[in-house]
Amino acid sequence: MDRTTPIKPKTAILLEKLFETYHNTSFIVDDPICIPHAYTQLQDIEITAFFASVLAWGQRKTIIQKCKDLFQRMDNAPYSFILHHSERDLKVLQGFKHRTFNEIDLLHFVGQLQRIYRQYRSLEDLFSIESTERNVYEGLIRFHRFFLQDAPRRTHKHISSPIKNSACKRLNMFLRWMVRRDSPVDFGIWKSILPSQLVCPLDIHVEKAAKRLDLIDTKAKATWSVAVSLTELFKTLCPEDPVKYDYALFGLSRYGM
pLDDT of residue 171: 98
Give per-residue pLDDT as tens, 173-220. Answer: 999 999 999 999 999 999 999 999 999 999 888 999 999 999 999 888
Cα–Cα distances in Å, from 130 out to 127, 158, 184, 193, 253?
Answer: 10, 25, 27, 8, 34
Determine the Cα–Cα distance for residues 35 and 23; give it in Å rounded to an integer.
17
CB of 32 within 8 A of CB of 60? Answer: yes
When pLDDT is cut at 50, 70 and 90, the band that residue 3 belongs to is: low
Reading phi first (left if > 0) and then psi (alpha if -120 to 50, else beta), residue 141 is in alpha
Residues 221-236 have a mean pLDDT of 96
pLDDT of residue 2: 47
> How far is C-alpha 50 from the chain's CA centre?
7
* 235 compared with 220, residue with greater pLDDT: 235
Cα–Cα distances in Å, from 73 out to 7, 16, 254?
Answer: 47, 41, 32
Give per-residue pLDDT as tens, 58-94. Answer: 899 999 999 999 999 999 999 999 999 999 999 999 9
Residues 108-133 have a mean pLDDT of 94
Residue 5 has pLDDT above 80, yes or no: no
Give the mean pLDDT of the chain: 94
Give per-residue pLDDT as tens, 122-160. Answer: 999 999 888 788 899 999 999 999 999 999 999 999 999
Q: SS3 for 83-126, per residue?
A: HHCCCHHHHHHCCCCECCECHHHHHHHHHHHHHHHHHCCCCHHH
Task: Look up the pTM and report it.
Answer: 0.95
Neighbouring CB atoms inside 10 A of 88's CB total 7
